[in-house]
Amino acid sequence: MKALRYAKRLVSFDTTSHLSNRLICKYLEMKLTKHGFFVEKTEYVDQAGVRKQNVIAKIGRGKGGLAYFAHSDVVPACNWFDGTPGPFEPTVMQDRLYGRGSCDMKGSIACMLAAAQRFGPDDLKRPLYFVVTADEETGFAGARSVVSDSKIYREIVDNGTRAIIGEPTSLDVVYAHKGIYEITATSAGRAGHSSTREGVNANVAMIPFLQDLNQLRSVTESDPVWQNNLFDPPTLTMNICIKDNAEAPNVTPSKSVCVTSLRPMPGVDVEPLIEKLVDSAQRNSLQLEVQRHGAPMLTDAGSEFVAGSLELADRRKPRSACYGTDGGVFTEIENKIVLGPGSIDQAHTHDEWISLEQLEKGTELFGRMIRLWCG
């Protein structure tokens, strides 16, 4: 199976988000160019000073067509289930391909590579686009680079091209997903021996803000104004994480940090909530940073694109998802869905895998989509 061969090769690249992804981009560029794609790359330097790349490719002429979007980075594999084989040593066992990224989402990339190679330039009446970003797992910086720097992406938008975000959905058609915001509150104190007057406890200064935050979280869990029943759970799922740098119980903490993630939904305006948190931070002399990583996504469930995708995928109706994707950055593309092989239940796990059946079915489905919208 060609998709399996591609998936094993892609998994063998360690593309954990803190590392450069240039080697896998070079591999993708070689494969796409060999098959007749025109390849454009955009580059940027991430916050840690690591150079990253995005691959944006096109084959075929005309307008419209189909654009496939994926990401090359993977989450860390520090807790991989055993040492042999390792997370970047792709291994087939019991009709499954194991390895970090096999499900999220190098298996999907492999399926589209295998499907695209069934069509030459002369077979396509409309273009096929192939886009692979960096840093999807850590805030969508690669997608933002594509939006700001890619000429091919601008063509996709201007020509009303249909788009598939190839994240794992078990080949279901996903027409809506949540976004992701990150809110960081920081309280500054002064270290000292806890038995003296010298220290200023940063955690104590954080307490009033935490009380306000928890009250707002409780409201969003109970008030329908903050909810959307397209999703399960239908809430913003505010996740509160707290840490300080105290070295021992007898050392006064000099810094306290509260990081809260929330997942905005279509039709729910979270800006009033954020304004309340900004006000609380100011009243309590805290520093507050709001990072709006990705917006929620909602495509008309009754659109021609969704209907056609359902028919090709042999599904009765589309569904929503509670995670976010690069689709939350590609907001200018009107007709987009999330669809890819593998289950999200296997993504980010200590023994990540994708079934060989999903690789085969994903390749066939992508091929039918290319034939319908590009052939």
Write the CB contacts of 286 (distance below 8 Å, at least 6 apart in sequence).
Answer: 185, 186, 187, 205, 206, 209, 280
pLDDT of 84 above 70: no
CA distances from 92 to 45, 109, 210, 345 (A): 35, 18, 47, 19
Would the CA dihedral through 157, 155, 66, 167 be positive or negative?
negative
pLDDT of 362 above 70: yes
pLDDT of 206 above 80: yes
Q: Under CATH, which architecture does the 180-294 domain have?
A: 2-Layer Sandwich (3.30)
Count Cα neighbours of 14 within 13 Å in the Cβ-side half-sphere: 9
Share of the chain above pLDDT 90, in %: 92
Structure confidence at residue 170 as a pLDDT band (50, 70, 90): very high
Give the model's pLDDT for residue 194: 86
Mean pLDDT of 77-85: 83
Mean pLDDT of 212-234: 97
The structure's pTM equals: 0.94
Task: Give residue limits of the domains in the chain.
Answer: 2-177+296-374, 180-294
Longest dimension (CA), the chain: 80
pLDDT of 5 above 90: yes
pLDDT of 83 above 70: no
Give the model's pLDDT for residue 245: 77
Structure confidence at residue 246 as a pLDDT band (50, 70, 90): confident
Q: Which listed CATH number (1.10.443.10, 3.40.630.10, 3.30.360.10, 3.40.50.2300) goes with 2-177+296-374?
A: 3.40.630.10
pLDDT digits (tens, 9 = 90+) for 148-169: 999 999 999 999 999 999 999 9
Is 193 strand, coil or helix? strand
Mean pLDDT of 367-375: 96
Structure confidence at residue 244 as a pLDDT band (50, 70, 90): confident
Share of the chain above pLDDT 70, in %: 99
Give the model's pLDDT for residue 168: 98
pLDDT of 82 above 90: no
Give the model's pLDDT for residue 62: 93
pLDDT digits (tens, 9 = 90+) for 287-303: 999 999 999 999 999 99
Question: Strands 162-165 and 66-71: what pairing?
Answer: parallel
Mean pLDDT of 315-323: 97
pLDDT digits (tens, 9 = 90+) for 187-199: 999 988 988 988 9
| Average pLDDT score, the chain | 96
The region of weakest confidence among 26-40, 45-59, 64-78, 192-206 is 192-206
- State which amino acid sits at residue 225: V
Structure confidence at residue 249 as a pLDDT band (50, 70, 90): confident
Count Cα neighbours of 43 within 13 Å in the Cβ-side half-sphere: 9
